[in-house]
Each structure stands twice: as C-alpha cells, then as structure tokens.
Amino acid sequence: MSQSDFILETRALTKVFGGLVANSEVTIGFRERQAHAVIGPNGAGKSTFVNLLTGHLTPSGGQVLLKGANIAGFPAHKVSRLGIGRSYQKTNVFPSFTCFENTRLAAQSRLATSMRFFRPACSYKAVSEQAGCALEAAGLGSKASRMAGALSYGEQRQLEIAMVLATAPEILVLDEPLAGMGKEESEKMVGLLKGLARDYTLILVEHDMDAVFAIAEVLSVMVNGTLLESGPLEQVRASRAVQDAYLGDGAEAY
C-alpha cells in the first residue's frame, strides 16, 4: 500500500519545547477505519504527537498530511472542521446541562457556519438529529435527558465521546479514554471503542495494554520523542526492541 493510501500521515513531525525535543522526526501513517494505538512510556511524546495532529500545538518542523494536504500548524477549530475530532477532558462538559444539550452544543459548533443560510428551525432539526445519533453511538441514548453532572465517571467519559462524534469527524483522536476508570467501566469503554473502530479511523493513546491489544489493529511505539516501531499489532508485540523498551517486564509500571 502506498503512502497516499493513508487518510492521515505525519512526515518527520518535530516539536521542540525550549531545549527539549518532545517529538523528533516522527513519521506515521494512519489508514482509514483502522484502530491505531500510539503507546510508550511516560514522557515519550504521545500527547505532544496527538496535539500536533489536532492543531493544539504547532509543529517545529515536518508535515501533517490529511488526505495528502498539509494541515500542519492549522488551528484546532479548523482541524476539527476538516474531520479530525478530539476528545476533551470532562471539564468541557457542562454539568447542569443534560447529555442531549451538551451534545447538541458540540454538534452546533461544527454546523454553525455551514448551516447559517438555513432557516433556524431546519438547522435546529439537523443539529438535534446529529446530537441524538452521537448519543446513541456513544451508548448514552437512554440517558439523553439526564443531567451530565449526575452521570457516573465512566458515563461522563462516554459523553465526551458523544460530543466528539457530534462534530461529525472521520478521524477520532482519543487521548487516554480509559484514564481513571475501574474494571467494569473500562470493559464498557473498550466495547464502545471497538464498535466505533468499525466506522471511524481511531487514533488512540492509552496506557492500559489490555485495552490497547483488544482495540488496536496497528501499534506505533514512541520512546524519547522518537518512533521506535510501527506496524500490525502482533508484529510490534513480538518485536525485541519494543519488548526491551516498553512491553517487557516493566510495562505494568507505566
């Protein structure tokens, strides 16, 4: 498969903070509707990498190609409109709004510009439908009228996912979606993400290796800001270099 078959790819993507090289010439390709996890020890540069993909950080060098067009340095709102959705932490959720209202606000943020020539009632309907679909897809269809603040922790994380889905992305970028979850909540989220991986290109940063192995088809391993290895799950799992650097005895410690 040639490079052009990637829906999203980075080429020599680099980010320097002062004297610290957080990402050094990282080249990774993401295929459409594939679940691709970016893993590595603390401080490896994973969050920096996804922030560069989503426009939350500006690269110091290199390219981010979305369907072949370089979007490196585009602001986050523009990247979102181009179809790369990013989940935020739950601080973005309004606790005194219902799940539906929160999700509708997210849908509105995406549709506001494109719908401005439509009558308000029409745009309201489209936005509401979008919000309803997103809640269903995130497993919260039955909780639409529940106040966000009354949800369990795991459900609030599902609501964050619903809010991203409401922006109609093609690519979902999820930074540690299982963080802080108990066993049961994690299992539910893994099931949800496996389902979403059928319809979306999923880019996942996650420390929970059981979840990563259950969801991802492709793994990229970062160490010290560089890409150590990228490839099919089993190939990367079996790699000696990856075992030594990350997945060996010490993996649990991360």
Q: Write out the residues near ligand ATP by the rule CB under 6 A.
A: 17, 20, 22, 40, 42-48
**CA–CA separation, 127 vs 106, rounded Å?**
9
Q: How far is the CB of 116 from ligand ATP (least distance, A)?
A: 35
Q: How far is the CB of 215 from ligand ATP (least distance, A)?
A: 17
Read off the DSSP letter of residue 87: -
Handedness of CA 197, 29, 6, 1 (dihedral sign): negative
Nearest residue to 173 via CA among 160, 185, 191: 160
Q: Are strands 6-17 and 69-70 parallel, antiparallel or unpaired?
A: unpaired
Q: How far is the CB of 205 from ligand ATP (least distance, A)?
A: 7
Nearer to ligand ATP, 167 or 186 (CB): 186
Nearer to ligand ATP, 155 or 176 (CB): 176
Nearest residue to 228 via CA among 217, 239, 218: 239
Nearer to ligand ATP, 44 or 140 (CB): 44
Q: How far is the CB of 40 from ligand ATP (least distance, A)?
A: 6
Nearer to ligand ATP, 42 or 91 (CB): 42
Nearer to ligand ATP, 46 or 81 (CB): 46
Q: How far is the CB of 196 from ligand ATP (least distance, A)?
A: 22
Nearer to ligand ATP, 42 or 96 (CB): 42
**CA–CA separation, 126 vs 132, rounded Å?**
10
Nearest residue to 241 via CA among 223, 253, 254: 223
**CA–CA separation, 173 vs 189, rounded Å?**
15
Q: How far is the CB of 192 from ligand ATP (least distance, A)?
A: 22
C-alpha angle with apex 51: 178 to 4, nearest 5 degrees? 100
**CA–CA separation, 26 vs 48, rounded Å?**
11
Q: How far is the CB of 26 from ligand ATP (least distance, A)?
A: 11
Nearer to ligand ATP, 53 or 106 (CB): 53
Over the range 93-112, which residues count as b (16 or more CB within 10 Å of their CB) and which as e? beeeebbbbbbbbbbbbbbe
